[in-house]
Structure formats: structure tokens, C-alpha cells
Amino acid sequence: MSIKSATLTAACLLALAACGGESPPPAEDTAAPAATPTGPDAAEAPAASAPAPAAPAAEPPTGPASAGGDKPAAVVTDCATTIEGTDGMQFSVGSIAIPASCTEFTITLNHIGQMPEAAMGHNVVVTATSDMQAVAADGLGAGAESEYVKPDDERVIAHTEMIGGGETTSVTFPVSDLQGGGPYSFFCSFPGHLALMQGSIEVEQ
Ligand code: CO
């Protein structure tokens, strides 16, 4: 710390005080600078003092490579796999590799949490990765009565029911549907879950 930074801090406080009657807390309140990113000093101060809190909605859902990330691959047996969904808004696996010898494949989803479907619903939706965002957005528009999957959405290769804690569901689809040029992803279409609940799915070469 130096006199210069102390002066900057004082300037920030003054700037914040001058800017807004809506947020009286001092600079220590990390919410204040985020809400009023009006000056370069105000933006620098919180970044240096404290990392931004985890914000799932702000994570760039760029694709399965980043989302599946550190999670294990699904265990596949007899052209089927079982994955888990949790109350922590997570799938247990980050990727699913389908043996090329399979003609059909079954994904079973176990919701191992306890929260009800309305609060922590999970499903598995399979689409081309390039369609994922738009399918999720249209699912959101379709609403809870459609279990957040737009009816007859041709971009949806397969999807399970939406389930709550303690429930299980599954879906079976032709493997050839994933051989039209990928990459493909699986994700949960419950509102807000896409960023954290997605992974890659592909047919092995
Ligand atoms: Co979910």
C-alpha cells in the first residue's frame, strides 16, 4: 500500500458517494462497484482485493470442452450408461463416448438429490453443440408445462423427462442420429442449468 493507492481509494469513495444515492455502502462492498462500473478506478479496486464470487450465469458456456472439463467420462456398458444429477446442479460425468458397434444407445439419468423437480429439475437433452443454446432458449420459452423442451423441436436428437430428486428416467435413441456431423452435447434444459450441466457426447471412431 502506498499513499498513491490510498489517495485513489479516497477518490473512489468520493466518486461512489457522488454517483449514487442508491448504494451508500463504502468501497468494501463488492456489490457496489459491480453495480456502478462508471470509473476505471472503481473497476480496479475490487478486482485486486477480492475475486468475483462464483456466478454460474456469467460463465461462458462455450462448449463441452470447458463444461465437461474435470469430470470423468461416463461408464458405458451394453450400449447404455447411467449418469447422475445432483442438488448441486451437476451431472456426474463430463462426456459420453458411444461405441461405434452400437445401433441404439440408452442414457439413464438418476437424480440423486432430494429437491423437487420444480426447484432442481434435471433432464438430459442431446443436440448438436451448435444448437444447444438455441434449444435451451426455446425450451425456456416452452416453459415448465413442456418440461423446458420445445415440443417437436427437430434439433433435439433425444431427451428424457424432467425429474426431481430421487427419480430416474431414461431415453433410447439411434446412434446414427449422432453420426451426421458433430460435435454433439448433452445438457439439462431446466432454467439456468445449462452453464453447469453440459457435456460432450460422441460416437467413437
Ligand atoms: Co438440471
Q: Distance between CA 92 and CA 121 in Å, rounded?
A: 15
Q: What's the 44 CA to ligand 1 centre distance in angstroms?
A: 35
Neighbours of ion ligand 1 (CB under 5 A): 122, 188, 190, 193
pLDDT at 69: 67
pLDDT at 135: 98
Q: What's the 171 CA to ligand 1 centre distance in angstroms?
A: 16
Long-range contacts of 46-51 (CB under 8 A, 24+ apart): none
Strand pairing partners for 85? Answer: 91, 111
Q: What's the 115 CA to ligand 1 centre distance in angstroms?
A: 11
Q: What's the 55 CA to ligand 1 centre distance in angstroms?
A: 16
Strand pairing partners for 28? Answer: none
Task: For the chain of 205 residues, list the mean pLDDT of each consecutive stretch of 10.
Answer: 40 38 42 42 43 45 54 97 98 97 98 98 98 98 98 98 98 95 95 98 94
Task: Kindly tell me the burial class for residue 182, based on how many C-beta atoms sit within 10 Å of its own C-beta (0-12, 13-18, 19 or more).
Answer: middle
